[in-house]
């Protein structure tokens, strides 16, 4: 099996390395060197280029009936999502979107718990973007682009997780903080959402806080779930008291797990994860992300020097 990986950034390189480690004949195609004919002879393709230039490679792969693994976010406009759905209709059941937090063992455990009594909830993630990686410049990256950049799209896993636990979420409001040097780019965003049963929630993400944090807290009639994904401390409180859940995790485990399931789809084999983000099954999540991006209301600017 031969799989092309379009995109030579950190995520593209990780996909390439994981495919090779799993015995796949992978070929790396930096986007700036990419041409459609490079997909000839391939059996599938990973699309890890910037979101704003992703539609072309998707169309090229679809024209060759190639299943795809498309990095998140799938798109940031509803019209683009509709076009992708049309283009990929023949291969969507063998294609995936890179919503890898569905492969976090603690989130898998959380997804199996009863959320019917939820009253309110929050999902939060953030970290100073200038500390992300060595020899990396925000201003030169996809994240700094008004079209397809910004923290809401970059860290949209939290919105996906909320959509898994609470289907049919409704976005009430999206407030964002920008930066004078990067017009149209959100550095902090907060979504106010509601469920069909009336539970209210917030989903927040930022490029600014000095220490990495990632946490989900759900308050319900019967239980409180407090999951700190950075500290790897997962607590459930209910009438019987409280208990901690042991879910050790190393980040690449999620990439390997999602890649194994995609390879299973390509081979016509069963997948292992009940939350597998098959392209034809994630419309609720991807639609919410695009809708939230379009609903941003900028209400302030930061002055921090970000290069």
Beta-bridged to residue 174, according to DSSP, are: 191, 296
Helix (H) or strand (E) holding 86: helix 78-87
Helix (H) or strand (E) holding 17: helix 10-21
Cα–Cα distance list, 166 to 114, 120, 160, 248, 277 (Å): 11, 11, 10, 25, 16
Helix, strand, coil percentages, rounded to 5, for the chain: 35, 30, 35
Q: Do the Cβ atoms of 5 and 98 come closer than 8 Å?
A: no
* Residue 131 pLDDT greater than 90, yes or no: no
Mean pLDDT of 291-305: 95
Mean pLDDT of 164-186: 97
> What's the pLDDT score for residue 127?
94
Q: What percent of the chain has pLDDT over 70?
A: 100
> What's the pLDDT score for residue 90?
98
113 three-state secondary structure: coil
Mean pLDDT of 173-192: 97
* Residue 185 pLDDT greater than 80, yes or no: yes
Residue carrying the six token digits 């319900």: 220
More confident residue, 74 or 134: 74
> What's the pLDDT score for residue 136?
77
> What's the pLDDT score for residue 37?
97
* Residue 158 pLDDT greater than 80, yes or no: yes
Alpha helix segments (H runs only) across 151-224: 151-154, 157-165
Closest CA to 196 of 110, 89, 118, 93: 118
277 confidence band (pLDDT: 50, 70, 90): very high
DSSP state of 44: E
> Cα 154 from chain centroid?
7
> What's the pLDDT score for residue 205?
98
Quote the radius of gyration of the chain (alpha carbons, Å). 19
* Residue 134 pLDDT greater than 80, yes or no: no
Q: Hey, CA dihedral for 140, 138, 153, 266, is it positive or negative?
A: positive
Residues of CATH 3.30.360.10 domain(s) within the chain?
101-248+287-302
pLDDT digits (tens, 9 = 90+) for 62-95: 999 999 999 999 999 999 999 999 999 999 999 9
130 three-state secondary structure: helix
Mean pLDDT of 246-269: 95
**Topology annotation, domain 2-99+256-278:** Rossmann fold (3.40.50)
* Residue 132 pLDDT greater than 90, yes or no: no
Q: How many CB atoms lie within 10 A of CB 160?
A: 26
The whole model's pTM is what?
A: 0.96
* Residue 267 pLDDT greater than 90, yes or no: yes
**Topology annotation, domain 101-248+287-302:** Dihydrodipicolinate Reductase; domain 2 (3.30.360)
Helix (H) or strand (E) holding 201: strand 200-206
């Amino acid at each position: 099996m031969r799989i092309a990986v379009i995109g030579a950034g950190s995520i593209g390189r990780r996909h390439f390395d994981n495919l090779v480690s799993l015995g796949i004949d992978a070929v790396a195609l930096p986007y700036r060197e990419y041409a459609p004919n490079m997909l000839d002879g391939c059996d599938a393709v990973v699309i890890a280029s910037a979101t704003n230039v992703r539609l072309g490679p998707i169309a090229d792969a679809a024209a060759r009936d190639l299943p795809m693994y498309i990095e998140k976010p799938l798109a940031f406009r509803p019209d683009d999502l509709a076009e992708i759905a049309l283009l990929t209709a023949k291969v969507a059941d063998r294609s995936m979107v890179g919503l890898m937090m569905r492969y976090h063992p603690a989130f898998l455990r959380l997804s199996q718990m009863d959320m019917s009594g939820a009253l309110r909830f929050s999902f939060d993630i953030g970290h100073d973007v200038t500390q992300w990686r060595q020899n990396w410049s925000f201003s030169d990256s996809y994240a700094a682009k008004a079209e397809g950049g910004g923290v809401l799209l970059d860290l949209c896993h939290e919105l996906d997780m909320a959509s898994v636990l609470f289907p049919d979420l409704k976005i009430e409001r999206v407030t964002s903080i920008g930066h004078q040097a990067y017009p149209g780019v959100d550095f902090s965003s907060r979504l106010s959402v509601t469920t069909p049963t009336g539970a209210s929630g917030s989903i927040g993400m930022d490029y600014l806080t000095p220490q990495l944090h990632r946490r989900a807290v759900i308050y319900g009639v019967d239980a409180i779930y407090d999951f700190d994904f950075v500290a790897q401390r997962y607590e459930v409180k209910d009438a019987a008291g409280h208990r901690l859940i042991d879910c050790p995790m190393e980040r690449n485990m999620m990439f390997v797990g999602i890649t194994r399931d995609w390879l299973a789809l390509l081979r016509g084999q069963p997948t292992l994860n009940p939350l597998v983000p098959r392209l034809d099954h994630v419309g609720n999540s991807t639609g919410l992300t695009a809708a939230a991006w379009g609903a941003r209301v900028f209400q302030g600017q930061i002055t921090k020097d970000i290069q």
